Structure 1
């Protein structure tokens, strides 16, 4: 099992990071080249592609703080990489979770550095417009929450057995 995890970590974890990062960057570039800022395709409907430049953080919070958000983003990337390399050992779910978060953080920080804002374009109902990187971060966080919950339950069971 350790051999499988080792091979998985060496090959698939970097591949996950690279593939989702490229998917994010390519999709944003397509939006930048084909949609004017503020325009949507289709014009109406529940699901649309809407070109938005986000100068803030998630859900456009903390507007016009690009330098601050860039510094926080770089710090987050360093912290996530630390967890991936030194903490997330032996759990495929945890490694994938952190890899998705890392690819999303890279995708959005590259936008901030290159464009001074993040390109968002996935427009679903009343939800704020987001991008692939945001999705990677959200899915990664959901997987992390699942992992922590399962481990908490297992620890709780083990503690109950020890207390009997």
Structure 2
């Protein structure tokens, strides 16, 4: 960490751009990782399984199924592609605004936002390029989903849990 000192009696300060650069790198790495993992697994499912096909057949707990979903989670809003594209774009803008206002150096908050953004962009890519989202993780008695959906859920749960952290008061540490 680079330190800047203006005079022998001046307080030592952290180089602020360094903190923001690390935060941006973390955000980009997690978001891009989520997008790449999502798109790669969807491409593999489309290549290996015909639409509607399940593997392994007869396994009752969880299996892989090639499902094309024109709606949202749990199959709601089928055929509402333009509405879902617009809502995804709004979600991306909201996440970026939250990142902009994020406390410097809060890695957990940054990573959680990146997971939400990565998942939203992963499904947005499918909706824009294909008009539907490929779902494939298919637990018994639960609708199929994909890694983008998982990224969004994990990110949102993390954000909720992080909201319960005790906040430092502005006076803390000044005594």
**TM range, smaller chain:** 0.7 to 0.9
Which of 122, 125, 145 is residue 140 of structure 2 equivalent to?
A: 125
Give structure 2 stretches of 5+ with no counterpart. 2-13, 170-175
TM-score normalized with structure 1 length: 0.86
Mapped pair 1:41 → 2:49: no
RMSD: 1.9
Q: Please tell me whether the aligned partners of residues 105 and 137 of structure 1 are also in contact (alpha carbons under 8 angstroms).
A: yes
Q: Please tell me whether the aligned partners of residues 24 and 133 of structure 1 are also in contact (alpha carbons under 8 angstroms).
A: yes
Which of 16, 24, 28 is residue 10 of structure 1 equivalent to?
A: 24
TM-score normalized with structure 2 length: 0.81
Provide the C-alpha distance between the structure 1 equivalents of 2:149 and 2:120, rounded to a whole number of angstroms: 8
Shift of 1:94: 1.1
Q: Which protein shows a greater Rg?
A: 2
Provide the C-alpha distance between the structure 2 equivalents of 1:116 and 1:7, rounded to a whole number of angstroms: 36
Q: Please tell me whether the aligned partners of residues 26 and 107 of structure 2 are also in contact (alpha carbons under 8 angstroms).
A: no
Moved over 4 A (4+): 1-5
Name the counterpart of 1:89.
103
Q: Please tell me whether the aligned partners of residues 5 and 92 of structure 1 are also in contact (alpha carbons under 8 angstroms).
A: no
Provide the C-alpha distance between the structure 2 equivalents of 1:12 and 1:137, rounded to a whole number of angstroms: 17
Give structure 1 stretches of 5+ with no counterpart. 159-164
Listed as ranges, the matches of 1:81-160 within 5 Å are 81-84=96-99, 86-90=100-104, 91-150=106-165, 154=166
Q: How many residues align?
A: 153
Q: Please tell me whether the aligned partners of residues 49 and 122 of structure 1 are also in contact (alpha carbons under 8 angstroms).
A: yes
Name the counterpart of 2:45.
31
Provide the C-alpha distance between the structure 1 equivalents of 2:90 and 2:55, rounded to a whole number of angstroms: 35
